[in-house]
Amino acid sequence: MAARRGPTGHKIELGIRLRQLRDNADLTMKQAVEGLGFSDAKLQRVEKGELAFRHVGELRALLERYGLTDRELVDSLVELNKASNSRSWVTQVRQKMPPGMTKFVGAESEAREIRAFHPTVVHGLLQTENYAQGIFERSKPIEETTTQFIRDSVAIRMQRQEPVLREDDPLKLWVVLCEVSLQYVMGDDDVMIEQYRHIATLSQREHIRVQVLPTAHRGYRSSNDFAILDLGEGLPSMVQTDTAGGAVSTSDTPEVVERFGRKFEAMAASALPPEETTDFMYRLERELQSH
């Protein structure tokens, strides 16, 4: 099924089309914005799909600079810019998220399919509320965060799961988890048992595939978490990674997307088959209860 196009998808499409027009006009960013009243830094953010024009006059002036005279094309870009500025729950909480995360979470909520890997913790789209709470509580003294920050972060994480959990045209999710990430206790034993059961339940849904990469596996294993987003027809796939400083980095460069795709495929090929995930979760539960 087609991805649900929302403001983030519209921004990405707008950026792609404007970048193509600038390339066709053979202009640098500085040349494109000269005398138009806004900076090349702003144009760069627009082309990257992070921003739309608040004032339609700026867009029209830019299109004129590019020599676009086709009224229908101009009108379509104006409408696309308008759709890009529509509000969603993501824009309402963007001040509560790390740098770069707004675009990613917006794209995540509109994606058709996500493939994701995490080496140290359960992936966010699979986490229970109590498990997520445990993660943020554990890092609180290190990151010097507040109780309100934790409350907001957990709420955002739970909201991000809505596309996966909805009944109508849910987001397809394929996650590879390291075995060690499932053995690292967050909160207490009850939290972990709840988490194991949650993964077992989700893994039985037709649109969700969860695989476990055993600790004894000697093949390729990424040391960093990442997600690959399929945004549907007309938009490039996107890779998300976390930076050392805690910010979120995204790239739609084909070479980068293909490289991370190879990483994921290598680990998925070595992981336990999806049909063994439920039994694996119940085995972890039994082991925890026997201690």
pLDDT of amino acid 2: 44
Percent of the chain surpassing pLDDT 70:
98
pLDDT tops 60 at residue 1: no
pLDDT of amino acid 4: 64
pLDDT of amino acid 88: 85
Q: How confident is the model at residue 278 (pLDDT cuts 50, 70, 90)?
A: very high
Query: Does residue 289 or residue 77 have the better pLDDT?
Result: 77
Start-end of CATH 3.30.870 domains in the chain: 96-290
User: What pTM value is reported for the model?
Assistant: 0.89
Report d(CA 52, CA 47) in Å as an integer. Answer: 9
What value does the mean pLDDT take over residues 75-97? 91
Separation of CA 82 from chain center: 23
- Are 43 and 29 in contact, with CB atoms under 8 Å apart? yes
Start-end of CATH 1.10.260.40 domains in the chain: 7-86
pLDDT tops 80 at residue 3: no
Report d(CA 155, CA 149) in Å as an integer. Answer: 10
pLDDT of amino acid 151: 95
pLDDT tens sequence across 173-224? 999 999 999 999 998 999 999 999 999 999 999 999 999 999 988 889 999 9
Q: How confident is the model at residue 20 (pLDDT cuts 50, 70, 90)?
A: very high
Report d(CA 286, CA 288) in Å as an integer. Answer: 5
pLDDT tops 80 at residue 23: yes
Annotate 110-157 with DSSP letters as a single string: H-SEEEEEESSS--GGG--HHHHHHHHHHHHHHHT--HHHHHHHHHHH
Mean of the per-residue pLDDT values of the chain: 93
Query: Does residue 88 or residue 161 have the better pLDDT?
Result: 161
Annotate 4-66 with DSSP letters as a single string: ---HHHHHHHHHHHHHHHHHHHT--HHHHHTTSSS-HHHHHHHHTTS---SSHHHHHHHHHHT
Assign a CATH topology to domain 96-290. Endonuclease; Chain A (3.30.870)
Domain at 7-86, CATH from 1.10.260.40, 3.40.50.700, 3.40.50.720, 3.40.50.300: 1.10.260.40
